[in-house]
Structure formats: structure tokens, C-alpha cells
Structure 1
Amino acid sequence: MNYLKLVVTVPEETQEYVIAELMDMDFYGFEQVGNQLIAYVEKPRFNDSNRESIEQMIARLPGAKFVEFSEVAEQNWNESWEASIQPQTIGDFFVRPTWSEKEPNGEQILLEIDPKMSFGTGYHATTRLMLQQLSKIKCQGKRVLDAGTGTGILAIAACKLGASHAIGFDYDPWCEKNATENALINNVDSRLSIRLGGFETVEDEQPFDLILANINRNVILEFIDQMISLLDRDGKLCLSGLLRTDEDSVMQKLSEYPVTVTDKQTEDEWMLLQIEILK
């Protein structure tokens, strides 16, 4: 399958906003090099409406301009990422790419991730927020759902914290393969099931003790009903992939359900909400 490659010049402080908007148009595989932002989208998923939306967004952002928009063949995206992705500490976790030999200290929990094209390397603020939140949650013996699993990093982290069973799903076949490989790399494949599809893949499952959804506002608003229905009465639902400007619309939607926000964390313009069912 061929991809479209978008290259734009965007001030660094604005890039996370642009990434969020492009994710809503099915772009992924982002690279940030100084003021240059590179994004990829499968060619069949792009249309004239997307192009018009991007043109309008770039036009209203100070200092933003197009550099390149071209078609590229499928490739091993790791080759362009390996030089830039380095190990990092996030909460209780030491996250490193599979090609790094750097070791965690004695107290850190190792997460080895081969990112391929999947979203979830720990470098995006929304993933960091989730990993930091997981570091505060007692996962021992819990059943965990990771909606839109990407690389599988969050489900793997929950298993490393002692979750008895985790399920991650994603619509992207590449993510299904990548997350399955990462589960094997981290020796949690016996407790982690990766499924291709969406919430329909878990509709017959028992309630989950913890649901992780690092997706985006539109998907969260569309599927919040399913997430709450899948949540155990004593469970926790963590929502990320949200901009701070999304808070009002998300809170308005949550007001329709018997739930309460028990924690909120932010990083830059991004936000995480932890939700529990009212007793």
C-alpha cells in the first residue's frame, strides 16, 4: 500500500496541536525535526476534504507553511526513527527501543518497544501521561483493556505492573502485528491478547478493572458509552489523547453518565482524565 507524506514547517510549540488535528484525519507515523513536522497517511484514507482542512489549518497558524506533499511506497519506518528514539524514564518505567542496550536502574520497570509505524513510543505527551498514571494505579491481579493499543505499550506496562490479563485492540493490522511482537519481546504474551478491530471485539467480555483509551476526542465521545458499560463498578477509566481545549466537550458528555472524574493530569496542551463510576 502506498502512503502520502506531508511535510510542513510549524513552530515547535504548535506541533502537538497539528499532530492532534492530523490524527483525526487518520495520519500517523509522525516525525518532528526542529520546526519541520512530517506525517504519513494511507493513500485511500485521504480525500479532498482532508486536503482543504489541512490548508485552512496551516493558513491560520502563524509561521506555518507547506514544504512537501508526496506519495511514498510502504517501507520500514524504523530506519528513519532509530537515530532519534532514545531510552527515557517515565514514571516507574524505563522505556527503550529494541535496538538500545542501555539498562534501567534496579527499581525501574523495563519496557522494550519496537515502534514500527504504530503510535506509542513514550515520546508523545499523551503516552507519557498514561504511563505516569499507570505508575500510580494498583494493577496487581486486574483485568485491563487498552483501546487503540498502537504499539501495545500501555497494555504491556499494565502487565508488567501485575495485571492478570489484558486485551488491546486496534483497527490497524500493522498495529496488531507490532503490539503482538512487543508483547513477546516483553514476555507478557501469555497475559496479553491483541485483537484486530474495535469495541466489537470485546463486547462479550466480563467488565474490566481498568480501561485505557489513549485515542482522540472524537473517538472518545463516540465510544464513551461502550467504555463505561465495559467498566467494572469499582474500576477506573483513563482517557488521554485529549487537548486541554477538549475538556468542556468531554465533561459535558460525561455528565450524561453516573461517573465522576477522580484525577486530571496535564502536560503542555495535553490532558488525561481518570474516571470512576459513582457509588
Structure 2
Amino acid sequence: MNWQAITVNTSDEAIEAVSAILMDGAGAEGVQVNDQVTPVKITAYFEDNAAIRHIIQTIKTALASLERYGINASPATLDIAGISEKDWSDNWKAYYHATRITRHLTVVPAWESFLPQQEHEYPIFLNPELSFGTGTHPTTKLMLQALETVVRGGETMLDIGTGSGVLSIAAKQLGVAQILATDVDDDAVQVARDNLLVNPIAQDVKVIVSDLMAGVDSAPVDLIVANILADVIELLIPQIWGYLKPGGYFMVSGIIEANAHHILNQFTDAGYQVIQHNQMGDWHSFIVQKLVDEEIA
């Protein structure tokens, strides 16, 4: 079977929205995200049949609508090419190589061997077959840096919207003892489980399908992480209070410049203390702490 590869040239800000358009709106059979170039290239694959013209128009219409939601997807241009099934399965591997992300964490393709370049350098093996993150996007980098800042070893953690599972794997490498990871997307849950299998240290991470906290049955934990969009974080802030121990940390990213101040206010209004506010390009992350009873008083 042959395929049509439709590549959307877009911005960092629009990666998740464009990926959703291609996968959910247009019905792509697979997506790859190359965020190592400017503009970002998001390639979707479709069966090569008579429906392709309608699919292209659907994508163009959806891209044009993103501006109404405050998402800058420019240049939002399309490149279209025929591709064989073998290339569809393998060509995305060409630009994905081991990448040092933080002081201690290096993202490594699952098909590559890894030799640490320094003491206390830990691999995160990923096989990102779908659009659930390769570990190199600024939002992921910010979250990995946050984990390095906070984790001391022996903690319990919830990973909300786990995607590829990269944050759970990193947390286990840094010494977190127990993790429950969730995602609303069945495909993401399967991708995360597959990635956990190639990271022996993380094979005890439990991954479930859950819409935010709806399916979470957990005692309060030391850490909660969420690398998701600002509007979802806003919904999550009031939900997680009872799941976080007093003195525990909530770490979030996926917040664009325009939404950062609003999310900051949401945290302070909810009673959290902001420990760190970091920025990488247009993306923001926060580390906040749930105050213990004495501090609240």
C-alpha cells in the first residue's frame, strides 16, 4: 500500500493543535514531529486514494481556524508527497538521534546503543512512532529541568497526560520510587507502555487511560507533573489539591507566553507557592508547592 505524506510547516506553539488536526480531524494513519528545524515540520500519513483532496481541504480549513483560538500556526503551509509503506515506517528515524537534554538526562532512540559521556548521565530510551513527544521540545526540556531541580529520591509521583512516557522514565532515572501515569488517549497510553518496556528502570510505572484525574485512585503523592496546554492546566489546578501531599510539588509546562500570567494567578489564587517560573523561547513552566498547614495559617 502506498501513502500520501502531508507535511504542515508550523510553529512550536502550534505543535499539539496541528497534530490533533491531522490525527483526529483528518484521520491520519501516523504523525511525525520534527521540532529540530524552523519552521517545525509535522508530517501526517494517509492512504493514497480518492479521498485525499477532501482531506487536504479539511486540514487547510482547520489550520485557518486556529487563529480564532489564539494559536499562531504560521506559516501553516502544506507540502505533499507520495511515499511507500516502507518509507512511512522508517523515514522519521533519519533525524532522531541521542540528544543531551539536561545536565543528567539524554534522550536516546530505542534502536541506538548508549554510552554515557560523563558520570550520572542517564538515558531515556524512546521510540516515538506517533505524535506523543520525542523529548526535545522546549516544553519537555523545561519539565525535565524541573524534575532535576525537585527530585531527591524516593518520591511518589503522578504523571498527568504522559504522552510518550518521557517524564515518567526521567523521574525513575532520577530516583522517584513510584509513579502512576495517565493519558486520555488510548494510543498515547500504548506508546508510553511500549517506551517503558525499553527502559528497564521504569517498567514498574503504571499507565492508565484517564481524563485528567477522573480515573485516578491514588493516595496523596509528593510530585505531580503535567506537560499539557494551558487551558487543560487551568482545569487541573483545582482537581489535584487533594492528590498532593502538603509540601508536595506540582510541575507544569506547555504554557505559551500569552497564557503565562493567567496561569500564575490561578496558582496563587488556589493557595500554591510559586517556587520557580522558567521560560524557553515562547514556552513557560512553573514549579509550585502546596503549603503545609502551618505555612497556610
Fold shared per TM-score above 0.5: yes
* Separation of aligned partners in 1, 2:88 and 2:230: 27
Q: Which residue type is aligned with residue 240 of structure 1?
A: S
Give the drift of 1:219: 0.9
Give the drift of 1:255: 3.4
2:42 to 38, 43, 56: 38
* Separation of aligned partners in 2, 1:77 and 1:144: 36
Q: Which residue type is aligned with residue 66 of structure 1?
A: T
Gaps of 5+ in 1: none
Matching of residue 176 in structure 1 with residue 189 in structure 2 = yes
Question: Any residues of structure 2 matched to 1:51-200 within 5 Å, and which?
Answer: 52=61, 54-57=63-66, 64-68=75-79, 79-91=90-102, 92-105=104-117, 106-198=119-211, 199-200=213-214
**Aligned partners of 1:265 and 1:273 also within 8 Å:** yes
* Separation of aligned partners in 2, 1:168 and 1:122: 16
Partner of 1:8: 8
Change (3 A) 1:277 1:136: same
Give the drift of 1:18: 2.5
**Aligned partners of 1:170 and 1:176 also within 8 Å:** yes
Give the drift of 1:157: 1.1
Give the drift of 1:252: 2.8
Work out which of the two has the higher radius of gyration on C-alpha atoms and give 1 or 2. Answer: 2
**TM-score under structure 1 normalisation?**
0.82
Change (3 A) 1:239 1:117: same
Give the drift of 1:212: 0.5
**Aligned partners of 1:77 and 1:116 also within 8 Å:** no
Matching of residue 19 in structure 1 with residue 15 in structure 2 = yes
* Separation of aligned partners in 2, 1:63 and 1:187: 40
**Aligned partners of 1:145 and 1:166 also within 8 Å:** yes
* Separation of aligned partners in 2, 1:257 and 1:143: 22
Q: Which residue type is aligned with residue 85 of structure 1?
A: Y
Give the drift of 1:254: 2.1
SS of equivalent residue, structure 1 residue 176: helix
Give the drift of 1:7: 3.1
The Cα offsets for residues 160-187 of structure 1, whole Å up to 9 and x where unpaired, read as 1111100111122222122112222111
**Aligned partners of 1:159 and 1:191 also within 8 Å:** no
SS of equivalent residue, structure 2 residue 128: coil
Matching of residue 228 in structure 1 with residue 237 in structure 2 = no
Change (3 A) 1:36 1:94: closer
Partner of 2:50: none
The Cα offsets for residues 7-44 of structure 1, whole Å up to 9 and x where unpaired, read as 3344xxxx1123254367585642355546225499xx
Partner of 2:252: 239
Q: Which residue type is aligned with residue 55 of structure 1?
A: A
Report the count of equivalent residues: 269
Q: Which residue type is aligned with residue 111 of structure 2?
A: W
Q: Which residue type is aligned with residue 34 of structure 2?
A: E
Gaps of 5+ in 2: 24-30, 47-54
Change (3 A) 1:182 1:255: same
